Amino acid sequence: MNPYAGRKYIVGGIIVLVGIIFLIRLFFLQVLDSSYETTADSNARRNEIQYAARGLIYDRKGEILVYNEAAYDLMINPPLLGSFDTIDFCRILEVSKREVIEGIGVAKKYSRYKPSIFIRQISSMTYAVMQEKLYKFPGFFVQARTLRKYPRDIAAHALGYVGEVSEADIERNPYYQMGDYIGVSGIEKSFEEELRGEKGSKNYLVDVHNRIKGSYKGGREDKKSEVGRNVISTLDADLQEYGEKLMQKFRGSIVAIEPATGEVLALITSPAYRPSLLVGRVRSVNFRALSVDTLKPWFNRALMAFYAPGSTFKTVNGLIGLQEKTIHTGSEYYCDLGFHMSGYSVACHYHDSPLDFRESVRSSCNAYFNHVFMGILNDPKFGSVSESYKNWRRHVLTFGFGNTLDTDFINELSGFVPEDTFYDNIYGKGHWNFLTVRSLSIGQGELGITPIQMANLAATIANRGYYYTPHVIKEIEGGEIDERFSVRHYTSIDSAHFEAVADGMEGAVNEAGGTAWRARVKHFTVCGKTGTAEVPPYEDHSIFIAFAPKQDPKIAISVYVEHGGFGNIWAAPIAGLMAEQFLYDSISKPYMEEYVLKGVRVDQE
């Protein structure tokens, strides 16, 4: 019997089966599947992304800070490219023939089958002309999208900006494709997912002239875009704009916080840039110009600058001394135009002497707070300077220094409060003491504090011992802000000790001998503390922290003016004007405003 006799039936069966499969498939393609009619009719299918409008950004009063305006991208689809009148094409778009040839080459290099952007953000007028003549330019189509617009050209660093996604963005999140836009900084980045919405898509049938003939499959494969969610920021647009006006001739920052909530009322860094510079076809040119500007308008000083806090830090050292009972509010120290010990001297300005605690805050006495810090580090209950220093640092960190505050700003930095090992590495373990680190007593030395941390210190004193994490978003449409912003953070200092500091800060502004008289206003009591940070060989920085009113405070503020001299010269009057503008929406001392804006001299009242 032939063993291969049955195989011919198997082979024949397979051939018949394959033939049946091909017949069924052919019937399906030619009769049942209508999508191939597009080829039969010399048509093509075009898939267009439907970009969602980004959510709007409002200020705390409901005023729009950022909205959307229609814009149009000219797209290129390489498979559908045909011959066209390049002269007419170039005339409409105001581009050269060489740019067109190079653009087509770039598009084909990106993908020979997928559409890509040929020219971004053409004007509405150009769009109208192009739309009428689009049938003459096979392979090109116009895609609508939106651009950010700013009713007021303010708050660039707080609001942030939107830019095209990078390859790294696409790798991190496959939602994005080349040509998409994404929040790059500020609120736009921190709340990108809420603001961006969800992209949709629409499929069209287009003829050989690239004209839309209708919806593909009746729109069954389309996906509707979802508009981004609106957000209400904590910013006060009027206060923000006023602060930017006051800082226009200075380099530095202003941060204002509502103590009762931690909401950021104003975040000003100077010099800055106008947010509208990074919108539209001029964006790339402006971006390059800003990047090479020696004044560094990109740099967000309010969140990223490490400064010595100067004498504003005396409030912290004083509170630690009171908590550790190395001083009490009646403790007095003499000042002989400074602190002098073992050949070391720390100079001080002339004032009455001796002073108690409240008076020392009012007069910002360097000698007093050197004695305070010496008492803290030489506290016998800790056994060594190193252990005392560790305890001091533990207290300092509870004020929000040395770490980020965990705000909703994405580029906040931590500042620096050195550990004891920092000095061990420099001087050797057990070979340093109070005199070695005495500059910390007056907020100098190795301390690095950011302006938002200094404003938070003012809010902490205003609240008599606690703070809420500073944040810039008040409400998200259809959502809630993070619970961490409603949690109180208590310092390690008993609340009873803060009243003495508040009294001293009140005296600094409102009493004879106070160092901050330029912050005084008529309508309410401002409590403040000046600071002057040395930055040799340059002029000192002018620093001021404040809160107002003294009872039931509504605003806490820090002002830092680089190379502005004593704290009362520029920082204090700026803070006073900001507080009055916020609380009364008017200025009772226009001459003080003129002094800040024009440098016109104002003598003590």
pLDDT tens, residue by residue, 300-345:
999 999 999 999 999 999 999 999 999 999 999 999 888 999 888 8
When pLDDT is averaged across residues 59-72 and rounded to a whole number, the result is: 94
Minimum mean pLDDT range among 138-142, 425-429, 489-493, 498-502 = 138-142
CB 139 within 8 A of CB 81: yes
pLDDT tens, residue by residue, 223-244:
888 999 999 999 999 999 999 9
Nearest residue to 352 via CA among 364, 370, 341, 339: 364
**pLDDT-derived band of residue 51, with 50, 70 and 90 as boundaries?**
confident
Question: Looking at the DSSP assignment, which residues form a beta bridge with residue 258?
Answer: 263
Radius of gyration (Cα) for the chain, nearest Å? 33
Q: How far apart are CA 62 and CA 382, in angstroms?
A: 54
Q: How far apart are CA 165 and CA 168, in angstroms?
A: 8
pLDDT of residue 579: 97
CB 597 within 8 A of CB 245: yes
pLDDT tens, residue by residue, 516-549:
999 999 989 999 999 999 888 899 999 999 999 9
Give yes or no for residue 465 having a pLDDT over 60. Answer: yes
pLDDT of residue 47: 73
pLDDT tens, residue by residue, 2-15:
555 566 667 666 77
**pLDDT-derived band of residue 27, with 50, 70 and 90 as boundaries?**
low
Q: How far apart are CA 119 and CA 147, in angstroms?
A: 15
Assigned token pair, 308: 């010595």
pLDDT tens, residue by residue, 392-417:
999 999 999 999 999 999 889 999 99
CATH fold label, 237-272+297-598: Beta-lactamase (3.40.710)
pLDDT tens, residue by residue, 123-137:
888 888 988 888 899
**pLDDT-derived band of residue 463, with 50, 70 and 90 as boundaries?**
very high
Q: Where does CATH 3.40.710.10 sit in the chain?
A: 237-272+297-598
pLDDT of residue 115: 82
Minimum mean pLDDT range among 4-8, 111-115, 497-501 = 4-8
E strands, 83-217, where? 116-122, 140-149, 162-164, 181-183, 200-206, 212-215
User: What does the mean pLDDT of the chain come to?
Assistant: 90
Length of the chain: 605
pLDDT of residue 42: 40
Q: Where does CATH 3.90.1310.10 sit in the chain?
A: 46-197+219-233
**pLDDT-derived band of residue 210, with 50, 70 and 90 as boundaries?**
low
Assigned CATH for 46-197+219-233: 3.90.1310.10
Name the most confidently modeled range: 24-28, 273-277, 455-459: 455-459
**pLDDT-derived band of residue 202, with 50, 70 and 90 as boundaries?**
confident
